Amino acid sequence: MAKKEKTSDAVQILRNRYVKDDPQRKASVETERVNAQVARMIHDLRNDAGLTQQELAELVGTTQSVISRLEDADYEGHSLSMLNRIGKALKQKMTVVMTAQEPEPAKTRR
């Protein structure tokens, strides 16, 4: 029997404890990672442009509360059209990239 390597990496410990090999939990973690990444990107680009949420909202044609929601990592309603509008307001080109998922480990038969 293979010995498990010990780790002090908190993220890896939590992943081992709560996610394991559960496909639904893996998908949920990935969704949350993408939501957090999009929220951080909007926040960082707005700050780099020296804009408040209200100023960005005016450029985009929406309200400050919408920008606030978009910058919230827990928000799940990002739309490509809104992200494109934000990109144009911030003089950014939006690109969408899809990458292969991690390959499933080979299953052994006994």
In a domain, 29, yes or no: yes
Quote the pTM value. Answer: 0.73
In a domain, 31, yes or no: yes
In a domain, 104, yes or no: no
Give the CATH number of the domain where residue 35 resides.
1.10.260.40
CA dihedral angle for residue 88, residue 66, residue 53, residue 42, rounded to 10 degrees: -50
Domains: count for the chain:
1
Instruction: List, for residues 49-68, the tens digit of each pLDDT value.
Output: 999 999 999 999 999 999 99
Q: How confident is the model at residue 3 (pLDDT cuts 50, 70, 90)?
A: low
Q: Which domain holds residue 29?
A: 14-89
* Low-confidence winner among 31-40, 85-94, 95-104 (lowest mean pLDDT): 95-104
Q: CA 27 to CA 21: how far, in whole Å? A: 11
Q: CA 88 to CA 31: how far, in whole Å? A: 25
Tell me what pLDDT residue 103 has: 62
In a domain, 81, yes or no: yes
In a domain, 74, yes or no: yes
In a domain, 35, yes or no: yes
Q: How confident is the model at residue 4 (pLDDT cuts 50, 70, 90)?
A: low
Q: Which residue has the higher pLDDT, 5 or 97?
A: 97
Tell me what pLDDT residue 47 has: 98
